[in-house]
């Protein structure tokens, strides 16, 4: 069962590929990066020990090309593949092909991956084990007349979900009986097109829940621990943008109950490696199991900051067949961590993706500041993939200080050349309901529906100003006055106050 992993292929790109390469280096494991046509200049290609061209930009021909990736892993004698998040991370056929090729898939076994990907089947299994679930259906129901009866029993509003979906894809809310059947028909078509499975089911719709998830690690021998929660209620169109831990909504007693429930969900699913158990928490603090995310998640760093545990290294240790070295009673949460996702999106233009060459990148630094990114000055941001540029994570002793640190770090983060939603993030952090932690999944829809950015100077104007200041500095030096600084305005950029915020 134990296997010495000496080389890992990273079947991903961008910040998460770099994150995995860093963990491998620390464990003395060689790395192979794979890259598409538009990622030749990406940092993973530079950081990995070897890199192999995969194919054209389209994900189907590169990062989703199962046979090609396995072929490269075999050829270069990689004992394991790390899928990161997205792309092939939750594809049980990929996991199964790895298993059949005697390559370790760094993630759960394919059988349990298939189970947790089938929301209706896992709902049914959890119901039988008395895991708290939102009232709704636990089996496939094809007769539309029956559906109407079931919805009546559940009580409106109900939510239609795709069994093969997840993460909000293919969901619709139904508030009146006459909207049910058209909703189900549309939902089925959508689910069929998106996941190749038209199965949908109904649940009672919970208004304004909090989204709280628990990080779990499980080894190959039935041992598991949870590494506490992350609160991910701040999202926009199912895209999380701010995550934090601990959740201000939990006390130790509720945290303990939810954490133990999460471990049971993982054990019942026969799950191994790192996984996340998602819950909704309603306004009366009842929690309900939603689904298992079978991957390392985008927001994993906040858990690392408060527990001091490197989750990617744990994933590799587990995949190598080592027993979990962590014991639940030894795990503690220390301080508070917040993550902001930085996307190449234009908040002034309905968050439309913004692509192009990065003219200047300057990342914040300081105690308790972590920046997981794959960007640098001069990099061309391709439009073919998820527009995430970077993740800014801060740690401090409590929530208030962490928010303060995040505001400073965001203001120091300079990205010129593409638009980012940094101004939007800053306004959320400044909002009174955020400060008092009154969070829920409709927070942005409720408080920021009509958000417009404060007038900030355009990059072109900044460039002109920078040139003017540089000239001034040179002239000062020329007459030998005591110059305040010999730094160029570009180096000082984050400190400019042109308009007051």
The residue with tokens 């089925």 is: 188
Between residue 437 and residue 476, which ones bind ligand MV4 under the rule CB under 6 A? 441
Q: Which region, judged by CB under 6 A, interacts with ligand MV4, from 65-73, 82-90, 204-212, 222-230?
A: 204-212
Between residue 271 and residue 300, which ones bind ligand MV4 under the rule CB under 6 A? 278, 280, 290-291
> Which structure tokens are listed for 413?
């983060």
Query: At closest approach, how far in Å is the CB of 13 from ligand MV4?
Result: 24
Between residue 295 and residue 354, which ones bind ligand MV4 under the rule CB under 6 A? none
Q: Catalytic site residue 295? A: yes
Q: Which residues 6+ apart lie within 8 Å of 205 measured at CB?
A: 156, 157, 158, 159, 173, 174
The catalytically annotated residue of 13, 295, 341, 370 is 295
Gyration radius of the chain's alpha carbons: 24
d(CA 262, CA 268): 10
Given 44, 164, 209, 374, the residue binding ligand MV4 (CB under 6 A)? 209
Per-residue binding letters, 111-150, with ligand MV4 (x by CB under 6 A) = -----------------------x----------------
Q: Are 43 and 68 in contact (CB under 8 A)?
A: no
19 vs 161, beta carbon nearer ligand MV4: 161
d(CA 119, CA 51): 36
> Which structure tokens are listed for 304?
């690392």
Given 235, 261, 297, 421, the residue binding ligand MV4 (CB under 6 A)? 235
Q: DSSP string spanning 383-433?
A: SSS--EEEEEEEEESSHHHHHHHHHHHHHH-EEESS--SHHHHHHHHT-HH
Residue 234 has a CB neighbour count (10 Å cut-off) of 24
Per rule CB under 6 A, count of chain residues that contact ligand MV4: 18
Residue 309 main-chain phi, psi, to 5 deg:
-110, 130
Q: Are 409 and 394 in contact (CB under 8 A)?
A: yes
Given 151, 206, 388, 406, the residue binding ligand MV4 (CB under 6 A)? 206
Query: At closest approach, how far in Å is the CB of 166 from ligand MV4?
Result: 6
Q: Which region, judged by CB under 6 A, interacts with ligand MV4, from 199-207, 311-319, 392-400, 472-480?
A: 199-207
Given 205, 287, 385, 395, the residue binding ligand MV4 (CB under 6 A)? 205
User: Which of 220, 280, 263 shows the shortest CA–CA distance to 440?
Assistant: 280
235 vs 354, beta carbon nearer ligand MV4: 235
51 vs 276, beta carbon nearer ligand MV4: 276
Between residue 146 and residue 185, which ones bind ligand MV4 under the rule CB under 6 A? 159, 166-168
User: Which of 103, 109, 84 shows the shortest CA–CA distance to 5?
Assistant: 103
Q: Are 207 and 443 in contact (CB under 8 A)?
A: no
415 contributes a contact to ligand MV4 by CB under 6 A: no
Q: Catalytic positions, please?
A: 295
Name the site residues for ligand MV4 (rule: CB under 6 A). 134, 159, 166-168, 203-206, 209, 211, 235, 238, 278, 280, 290-291, 441
């Amino acid at each position: 069962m134990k296997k010495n992993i000496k080389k890992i292929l990273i079947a991903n790109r961008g910040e998460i590929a770099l994150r995995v390469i860093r963990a491998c280096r620390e464990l003395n494991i060689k790395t192979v990066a794979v890259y598409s046509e538009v990622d030749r200049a990406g940092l993973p290609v530079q950081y990995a020990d070897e890199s192999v061209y995969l194919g054209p930009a389209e994900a189907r021909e590169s990062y989703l090309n199962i046979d090609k990736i396995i072929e490269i892993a075999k050829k270069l004698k990689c004992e394991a593949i790390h899928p990161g998040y997205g792309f092939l991370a939750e594809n049980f056929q990929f996991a199964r092909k790895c298993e059949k090729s005697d390559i370790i898939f760094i993630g759960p076994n394919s059988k349990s991956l298939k189970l947790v990907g089938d929301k209706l089947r896992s709902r049914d299994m959890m119901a039988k084990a008395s895991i708290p679930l939102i009232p709704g259906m636990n089996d496939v129901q094809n007769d539309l007349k029956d559906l109407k009866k079931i919805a009546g029993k559940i009580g409106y509003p109900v939510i239609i979900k795709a069994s093969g979906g997840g993460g909000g894809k293919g969901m619709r809310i139904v508030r009146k009986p006459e909207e049910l059947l058209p909703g189900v028909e549309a939902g089925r078509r959508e689910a069929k097109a998106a996941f190749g499975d038209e199965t949908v089911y109904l649940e009672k719709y919970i208004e304004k829940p909090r989204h709280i998830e628990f990080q779990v690690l499980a080894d190959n021998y039935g041992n598991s621990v949870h590494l506490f929660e992350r609160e991910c209620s701040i999202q926009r169109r199912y895209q999380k943008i701010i995550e934090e831990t601990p959740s201000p909504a939990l006390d130790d007693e509720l945290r303990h109950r939810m954490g133990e429930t999460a471990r049971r969900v993982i054990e019942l699913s026969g799950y191994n490696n790192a996984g996340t158990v998602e819950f909704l928490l309603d306004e009366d603090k009842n929690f309900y199991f939603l689904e298992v995310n079978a991957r390392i998640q985008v927001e994993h760093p906040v858990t690392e900051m408060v527990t001091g545990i490197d989750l990617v290294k744990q994933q590799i240790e587990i995949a190598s067949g080592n027993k979990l070295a962590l014991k639940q009673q030894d795990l503690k949460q220390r301080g508070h961590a917040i993550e902001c996702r930085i996307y190449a999106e234009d908040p002034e233009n309905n968050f439309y993706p913004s692509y192009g060459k990065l003219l200047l990148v300057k990342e914040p630094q300081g105690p308790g500041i972590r920046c997981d990114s794959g960007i640098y000055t001069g990099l061309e941001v391709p439009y073919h993939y998820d527009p995430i540029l970077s993740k800014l994570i801060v740690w401090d002793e409590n929530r208030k200080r962490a928010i303060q640190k995040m505001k400073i770090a965001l203001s120091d983060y300079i990205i010129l050349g593409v638009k980012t939603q940094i101004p939007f993030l800053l306004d959320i952090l400044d909002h009174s309901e955020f400060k008092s932690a009154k969070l829920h999944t409709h927070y942005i829809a409720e408080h920021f529906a009509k958000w417009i950015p404060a007038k900030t100077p355009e990059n072109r104007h900044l460039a002109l100003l920078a040139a003017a200041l540089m000239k001034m500095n040179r002239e000062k030096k020329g007459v030998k006055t005591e110059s305040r600084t010999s730094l160029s305005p570009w180096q000082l950029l984050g400190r400019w106050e042109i308009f007051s915020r």
